[in-house]
Amino acid sequence: MTLTRSMARFTAGLAGAALLSASLSAQARELSVSTVLSDAFPWGQAAEKWAELVEERSRGELTLRVYPNSQLVSGDQTREFSAMRSGLIDAAVGSTINWSPQVPELNLFSLPFFIPDEAAVDAVTGGEAGELVFEAIESRGVIPLAWGENGFRQVSNSRGPISEPDDLDGLKIRVVGSPLFQDTFSALGADPTQMSWTDAQPALTTGAVDGQENPLGV
């Protein structure tokens, strides 16, 4: 696939736990952790490392079982946050994009060309804005635990290089399930299609879509 220039749009990762999991019994307990990607990717590797450290530091009293590929929500990553609220999932290493339908404040990180570099990301997540976003998440029934970085969004496609907006004209591109992404790529002249990552992989293989946007690690 042809790699194009960055959209300067950042994806922040979040570790969140449902409120119900904050109360633990004295007995050893296993909690479910949802991730969109497997341990073949940094996102999934982070979840596995978290599980390893929790078991080590709780001396085996608490274990985390990681379920990659959005298994617990039938492949629809945009349902992850709601599944935590309902108790179907205990915790998740999730994406601000995937949680934004339920927490609109998370769209801050999806605004195109808004955050220029990693230093700006750290300033936002470590400052007052980051605190306000955490408060917004908690007000909806999930306790945010920490920030992580998933990288800036990049466009890749099978048609050719993209160096200016006109190169996106008519490009059938898979986007995540966020109206902001749909609107952005429509405004740039592309033909965006919302689909889960589970559906995106065969769509890219068969040519049902020309390309997709994601961090380089994906």
Domain ranges of the chain: 6-151, 153-214
What is Dmax (Cα atoms) for the chain?
Answer: 60
pTM of the model: 0.80
- The mean pLDDT value for 7-17 works out to 57
CATH number of 6-151: 3.40.190.170
Domain 6-151 and domain 153-214 have a common topology: yes
Q: Taking all residues of the chain, what is their mean pLDDT, rounded to a whole number? A: 86
> What burial class does residue 66 get, using C-beta atoms within 10 Å of its C-beta: 0-12 exposed, 13-18 middle, 19+ buried?
buried
The amino acid present at 34, given as its one-letter code, is: S
Res. 57: pLDDT tops 60: yes
29 by Cβ neighbours in 10 Å (0-12 / 13-18 / 19+) ranks as middle
pLDDT at 27 over 60: no
**3-state SS, residue 109:** helix
Thinking of the domain 153-214, which architecture would CATH place it in?
3-Layer(aba) Sandwich (3.40)
Closest CA to 190 of 170, 207, 210: 170
Burial (CB count <10 Å: 0-12, 13-18, 19+), residue 93: buried
User: Rounded to whole angstroms, how far apart are CA atoms 182 and 146?
Assistant: 28
Residues 86-125: pLDDT tens digits?
A: 989 999 998 898 899 999 999 999 888 888 999 999 999 9
Terminal-to-terminal C-alpha distance of the chain: 13
